[in-house]
Amino acid sequence: MMSAWIVSQLAIGGGIALTGGPDSPALALAAVPVVSLSARFSLHGVAFGVLVTLAIMVLATAAVDAGALVDDPSNTILAGAAVISVGALSTALMRSDFQYRSEAVLDSLTGMLNRKALESRATELEQQSTLVNQPIGLIVADIDNFKDVNDEHGHATGDAVLSDVAYRMRKELRAFDLAYRIGGEEFVFLLPGATLDHAASVAEDLRQSIAASTVGGGLEITVSLGVGGSKAGESFDYKRVFAAADAALLAAKGEGRNCVRRSDQELRSVVVLA
């Protein structure tokens, strides 16, 4: 990308040299490609691109008439100022837009996606499931006795627990699995391509990871998890699958917590509770 971008600036530099060098009306055109830098590169990349642009402008004007450039560099200086300004403004705008979009879909405490992002992705998966015919697993997780953590240790510790638990659970997921915090101490995981058996295996890995570690500065915490999912070849109905997984989570809570229950175990578990 950077190589292609430099080639475009060299082309503009050639146009500057061919149309008068220091007096070329094309000098200001060098600022146009700078707008695209912040969309693809980091701050260092933007700075590098601006420096390359300035160097090309100076070379293109000096190659035509170095004396004229020295005697009256005002056009080149103004064009250079435009390049720097465009680079600075486009970077600020891009970062502001990125931050706004991130805040709209990310939970600031855990770094997980939020409920709004979950609703959007669930709709996409419902539409895609009719085309790809792949199963989709869903896990609902809830931190056990989280209210006691806040009551006994304070909300700051509770926030630390949430952050640590979220981090440890994300580490157990595949790169394309999606993790969401949907409120309080409850989390949802979407596992595209995962059967109910595989989703239950992942849920058990999540449970064991939390149970085997300390979080929030030394607290031992457990989680309960409910697992649901759609089968290969059937349409993914998010509300139905979530309701089944949530009922399985309720059964896990009722059977002593710190365990995994599947949606196909839900009715049996509820009967035991009754």
Distance between CA 41 and CA 50 in Å, rounded?
12
Q: What is the CATH number of domain 115-273?
A: 3.30.70.270
CA distances in angstroms from 272 to 76, 251, 255, 264, 266, listed in the order given = 82, 9, 9, 14, 10
Name residues whose C-beta falls within 8 Å of residue 270's C-beta, 6 or more positions apart in sequence: 247, 250, 251, 254
pLDDT digits (tens, 9 = 90+) for 136-159: 999 999 999 999 999 999 999 999
Report domain extents, the chain: 2-105, 115-273
Which pLDDT score, from 0 to 100, does residue 71 have? 87
CA 71 to chain centroid, in Å, comes to: 52
Out of 124, 152, 185, 234, the active site residue is 185
Which pLDDT score, from 0 to 100, does residue 129 have? 84
pLDDT digits (tens, 9 = 90+) for 168-200: 999 999 888 999 999 899 999 999 999 999 999
Residues of the chain with pLDDT under 70: 96-104, 266-274
Which pLDDT score, from 0 to 100, does residue 227 have? 97
Distance between CA 56 and CA 7 in Å, rounded?
11
Which pLDDT score, from 0 to 100, does residue 103 have? 55
Beta strands 223-230 and 260-262, pairing class: parallel
Please say if 185 is a catalytic residue.
yes
Which pLDDT score, from 0 to 100, does residue 267 have? 45
Whole-model pTM: value is: 0.64
Which pLDDT score, from 0 to 100, does residue 217 have? 87
